[in-house]
Structure 1
Amino acid sequence: MEGKRRIVALWLPHWPIERLGRDLERQARPLRVPEKPRVLARPGPGGMRITARNRLAQAAGIHPGQLVSDATALCPGLELHAADSEGDRKGLDRLASWCGRYTPWTTADPDGIGEEPDGILLDITGCDHLFGGEMALIAELRRRLQGFGLTARAAVSSTTGAAWALARFGERPLLVLPAGEEADALRSLPVAALRLDDAAVNGLIRLGLKKAGDLYGKPRAPITARFGPGVARRLDEALGFEPEPISPDLPHVPYRASLAFSEGLTRSAHIEEALKRIAADLCEVLERERQGARRLELQLFRVDGEVTRMQAGTGIASHDASHLSRLFREKLAQIGDDFDTGFGIEAITLACLAVDPLRPEQETLDNERTRAQDLEQFVDRLSNRLGAGRVMRLEPRASHIPERAVAAVPALRGITPAMRGWTAHAKEHMASVLGGSLPRPLRLLSSPEPVDVIAEVPEGPPRVFRWRRIAHQIARAEGPERIAPEWWREGKHRTRDYYRVEDVEGRRFWLYRDGLYHRDNEGPRWYLHGVFE
């Protein structure tokens, strides 16, 4: 039986209609929209039918499933709006994201009483002490939701099923159920509290099984044969005999730090100061665990329930609080006056979405390590300011073809194992130069450009070549450096003979002849591949 996990089931009984009223309030600011009998409707059998109602419409005798024509006859001043199922789902997802200020494990509850989801599940295991206990946590949660104009009920239990049932069918709007008391708490609740569909509920009631406790100890084979395995499974989940984890669609967060404020922050300077503090708290944990952040997410929780997210990354693992906080400060500065704090920021969270282990390194006497860190931090700032795909670094590839010997990759990808081979790559290149091979230019064209060449002999070096309508008379030439094609690549790839040439004006170029006269059916062609500085 589950005893360690603690689940909060939050129920919003009037969610669709109260979400609409909340949106109308925002549109009419600073004026307050007066409360009216309000309903939502969508096409159904026989015409438009009511899907949701507010309290005034309920008092007028309007109920879900009723025809709009009958509802307007009962209440002539009824305010009618079209139901928006997709908007309700997205709004509930945003509200579940806002609940992340209490625990990272939050998700919209897929099991609503009606056709649409109307609740949120929170796994508060190990989090309640940060808010003064479980009752204090759900009391604060309900108070804030009421401030948003939403009606809310909440229950805490060791199982999701028990919390769901008590939030919707319990006598009290706020309830904390001690671990191990799920069976007693569910005994007197209707079978609908087990999250069964209408067909199963009606069938069980016809058999005289009206309460959840009526199912205790009953043979399961006849019930399963008649209603399927869902009844027994839901009962086991509610009692804790079958696990039911909460699995929000969120990335793994190995490290996370949060900071809440008694009053909402509205000034950028105050938000930046809070960012420094929370970054220092997070980096203290990272340093103790010998980990470094690679990708981070900053969440700003507004007083009105909106959540602003920002992400930043680093090229190499870092637990430098000043550097990490500066990355987000620059993002806030880029937004400038367009950054909307609403009525203030009441809490912020800084989470590490990806970390790498850090090995202790000894700094050299000439401070070389510090200069390398400064360069990496500069690259991080540029990448986060301009975009991860706009700041690149070169990564070596196992190829002798010059245009395939390196590849441009985002700088925030970090130092890959291939990049650690640059030293060996440079040594190999120098060995080839000392062994008689020709040095290559540092500057290559984006793609080799064809040139017209005149040579004294077919296999000899060029004497004159024309590039971009300008003729160059060759004074000196070195070569060839032969590069054979890679046999495993498909397509037409021919042997290249590279020459280093210098014209009469002292300009130096890197040319190659693509193909051999005595091997290839098509005649060789000449290309200019690079220019020496």
Structure 2
Amino acid sequence: MGALQKDRRLLALWFPRLPTDRLKRHRTKTLNAPPLVVAEKVKGALRLCAVDEAASQLRLHVGQPLANARAMVPALEVVPASPHADAVLLSQMAEWCDRFTPVVALDAPDGLILDIAGAAHLFGDERALLDKIRKALKARGLNVQAAIAGSALAAHALARYRDGMIVAERAERDAVSPLPIEALQLDPVTTHAFRRAGLKTIGQVASRKRSEIVSRFGAATHARIDEALGQREMPISPRLPEPDYWTAKSFAEPVATQEVIQNALREIGAELCALMVQEGSGARRLEASFFRADGALRRIVVEAGAPVRDAAMIERLFRERLASLADPLDPGFGFDLIRLAALRVERMQVEAVPLDQAVRAAAEIDFLTDRLAARFGRERVLRIYPHETHVPEEAWVLLPAQQVYETKTQWRNIRAKVEAPRRPLRLLARPESVAIEHEPLRLQWRKAWRGLTLWEGPERIAMEWWRLEGSKIPRDYYRAEDEAGHRYWLYCELAQPAQWFMHGVFA
């Protein structure tokens, strides 16, 4: 349920009065309010770019000079255009529409395109989905028109000229042929040329030979006609990356209890895993989206170190993530839809059930790593990798444990089995200055003197002057043990005068 389909079904939304609706949404409705229009400067003259319903009933229209509009309706409220504010509202509506499908594209300046393939059945059918969206948007104070077709341009055109129309699959030609040529939204010069030639509808233009259209208006114009007729597919540009797989669960009544939310995640997680099993894939990055009844949206993301398609494991990762949120998941008046999407997937090889205890232990460690990363964050769970250098403090790097890195250098043993360690278990974050006295042999570190009983060295290490930015002075390293049995790793910088530092402590 909810997997992305190849057959496209696109729902176009058009907000014909977006600027005036934006202004009126937060106003208190009053009787005898003056008609509202929005004006912008076009070629040095102020013209109407949006009119509300009251102004439209008084025969005011978009493109009309403001002076003429004032002459017709003296009591007129005029507000300057704000394209930025309109774009912000359109983006907010796009995010709100994300509850119906994860593939939502802006159709600027006043429309949206939703790819509803595989999503309509979650709300009944395409008609139920279209009516639900229009009703909800109108309740939010927005005038909206909508249509569904198999191509973006066909849906775009029908939303503006055939509000509420749903085109059957591969029936776009019959649906758009009666529409005026303006529905193609070609440049004004091309539209005027078609009308002068007597071609006033899309069907009349489509009846002409391809060679005539291409030679006179170019291949791009003919391609646009083909797209409107459903004979050519043009991609849309979603606001967010399309998930590879997704599933969702809607609720007749909003839910708010933790138990119901966890059960829903487990249920849609099983459906998502079934989809990935069919394709031989596993998820590396998953996103759960929680849609509140009041329109608020919360997204929670978890990652896995290896491809995963076990529903119980996925539910456990999200449980860890939800438990660690600094800003807890607030259900408010309840969630009416929860969606789970696989944002990044990888192919999974078919593997036999591991019987080797070491293999099973490695898998458990990987799962533990994923749980810790979900709780504390990916950048806080690190793994040590070797680094190709002989400088002690540069011989290893810390990288996120969930990501597997291929390194040319491998860990190697530098001592025999019966030999004492040559490197300390713990290196200090920064070498600390110490003092050495030879008669008697003793060490001053952190304001305390320690008598030394064993002393071994030197081991000379030259600094990599061509790479390091810090000190490039060669070092002589020594291993020492004090009277209490504590063992230290010291070095002397071969400079004038010589300086001694504590670099590490043996276990």
TM (norm. structure 1) is: 0.78
Instruction: Say which SS state the counterpart of residue 380 (structure 1) adopts.
Output: helix
User: How many angstroms does 1:448 deviate by?
Assistant: 2.5
1:502 is aligned, of 481, 486, 502, to 481
State how 1:332-481 maps to structure 2 within 5 Å: 332-333=322-323, 339-341=329-331, 343-356=333-346, 357=348, 359-363=351-355, 376-411=366-401, 413-418=402-407, 425=411, 428-429=412-413, 431-434=414-417, 438-453=421-436, 463-481=441-459
Structure 2 equivalent of residue 57 of structure 1: 55
Cα distance 1:55–1:333, how it changes in 2: closer, same or farther (>3 A)?
A: farther
* Structure 1 residue 148 corresponds to structure 2 residue 131: no
- How far has the Cα of 1:510 moved from its partner? 0.8
- For 2:415, what is the secondary structure of its paired residue? helix
Query: What secondary structure, in the 3-state scheme, does the structure 1 residue paired with 2:284 have?
Result: strand
**CA deviation profile, 1:430-454 (whole Å, cap 9, x unmatched):** x524486852111111133344445
Per-residue deviation, residues 174-218 of structure 1 (Å, max 9, x unmatched): 222234443343333221111212233234323433222332354
Tell me what 2:283 maps to. 293
2:114 alignment counterpart: 122
Q: Give the partner amino acid of 2:20.
A: I
- Equivalent-residue separation in structure 2 for 1:201 and 1:497 (angstroms): 84
Structure 1 stretches lacking a partner, 5+ long: 111-116, 457-461
Distance change in 2, residues 1:268/1:16 (3 Å): farther
Deviation of 1:259 after TM superposition, in Å, equals 0.6
Task: Please tell me whether the aligned partners of residues 10 and 116 of structure 2 are also in contact (alpha carbons under 8 angstroms).
Answer: yes
* Larger displacement relative to structure 2 (295-304 or 278-287): 278-287
What is aligned with 1:114?
none
Q: Does 1:109 align with 2:107?
A: yes
Give the deviation of 1:258 after TM superposition.
0.9
Deviation at 1:393? 2.8
**How far apart in 2 are the matches of 1:284 and 1:223?**
49
Deviations 1:205-244 (A, max 9, x none): 2343322233235466776676555422322322344431
Counterpart in 1 of 2:261? 271
1:216, 1:263 → 2: CA distance? Answer: 48
**Whole-angstrom CA distance in 1 between matches of 2:359 and 2:23:** 57
Give the AA of the match of 1:531: V
The question of whether the paired residues in 1 share the 8 Å contact of 2:122 and 2:250 is answered with: no
State how many pairs are aligned.
498
Report the identity percentage. Answer: 38
Query: What amino acid is aligned across from residue 392 of structure 1 in structure 2?
Result: L
Q: State the distance in 1 between where 2:474 and 2:419 align.
A: 19
The corresponding residue for 2:3 is none
Match of 1:5 in 2: 8
SS at match of 2:490: strand
> Quick one: structure 1 residues 222 and 274, their matched pair in 2 at CA, closer, same or farther if it must change by over 3 Å?
closer
Q: How has the CA–CA distance of structure 1 residues 284 and 55 changed in structure 2, closer, same or farther, with 3 Å as cutoff? A: same
Q: Secondary structure at the match of 1:383?
A: helix
Q: Does the residue aligned with 1:208 lie in a helix, a strand or coil?
A: coil
Q: Does 1:137 align with 2:116?
A: no
Per-residue Cα deviation, 1:39-77 (whole angstroms, up to 9, x for no partner): 334455557643222212222333334465665665566
Q: Distance between the aligned counterparts of 2:289 and 2:32, measured in 1?
A: 33
Cα pair distance change 1:335/1:438, threshold 3 Å: closer
User: C-alpha separation between the residues in 2 aligned to 1:137 and 1:211?
Assistant: 30
- The aligned residue for residue 160 of structure 2 is 168
8 Å contact kept, 1:195–1:234: no
CA contact (8 A) 1:301 1:347 kept: yes
Task: Verify the 8 A CA contact 1:438 1:479 in the aligned structure 2.
Answer: no
Query: Given the superposition, is the C-alpha separation of residues 315 and 52 from structure 1 closer, same or farther in structure 2, using an over 3 Å criterion?
Result: same
Contact kept? 2:106, 2:239, Cα under 8 Å: no
Contact between 1:17 and 1:40, CA under 8 Å: does it hold in 2? yes
The correspondence of residues 83-102 of structure 1 with structure 2, limited to 5 A, is 83-102=81-100
Q: What is the TM-score of this pair, normalised by structure 2?
A: 0.82
CA–CA distance in structure 2, aligned partners of residues 433 and 497 of structure 1: 22
Return the offset for 1:350.
0.6
Whole-angstrom distance in 2 between the partners of 1:319 and 1:4: 26
What's the CA shift for 1:167? 1.9
Residue identity matched to 1:441: P
Cα 1:360/1:41, change in 2 over 3 Å: farther
- Aligned residues of 1:93 and 1:107 also touching (Cα < 8 A): no
Q: Give SS of 1:149's match.
A: coil
Q: Distance in 1 between matches of 2:280 and 2:205?
A: 53
Q: Which amino acid aligns with 2:97?
A: C
Structure 2 unmatched ranges of 5 or more:
1-5
| Residues 300 and 307 in structure 1, CA contact (< 8 A), matched pair in contact too | yes
Inter-partner Cα distance in structure 2 for 1:134 and 1:100: 16
Deviation per CA, 1:71-114, whole angstroms, max 9, x where unpaired? Answer: 5665566555453322322332343344344433321124xxxx
Does structure 1 conserve the Cα–Cα contact (< 8 Å) formed by 2:127 and 2:166? Answer: yes
Cα gap change, 1:338 to 1:56, in 2 (>3 Å): farther
Take 1:46 and 1:57, find their aligned partners in 2: how far apart are those partners?
23
Q: Work out whether residues 10 and 152 of structure 2, in 8 Å CA contact, stay in contact via their aligned partners in 1.
A: yes
- Show the counterpart of 1:113: none
Choose which of 131, 140, 149 in structure 2 pairs with 1:157: 149
AA matched with 1:414: Q
Q: 1:228 to 1:263 in 2, by over 3 A?
A: same
* Corresponding residue to 1:251 among 216, 220, 241: 241
Change (3 A) 1:93 1:5: same
Written as runs of structure 1 = structure 2, the 5 A alignment for 1:180-259 is 180-218=170-208, 227=217, 229-259=219-249
How large is the RMSD of aligned CA atoms in angstroms?
Answer: 3.8
Compared CA separation, residues 75 and 240, structure 1 to 2 (3 A):
same
Q: Provide the rounded CA distance (Å) in 2 between the counterparts of 1:65 and 1:340.
A: 46
Q: Is the 2:38–2:78 contact (alpha carbons within 8 Å) kept by the matching residues of 1?
A: yes
Q: Is the 8 A contact 1:9 1:154 kept in 2?
A: yes
Structure 1 match to 2:168: 178
Q: What letter matches 1:294 in structure 2?
A: R
Q: Which amino acid aligns with 2:93?
A: L
The residue number in structure 2 matching 1:280 is 270
Task: Tell me: CA distance 1:404–1:304, structure 2 relative to 1, closer, same or farther (3 Å).
Answer: same
Alignment correspondent of 1:529: 503
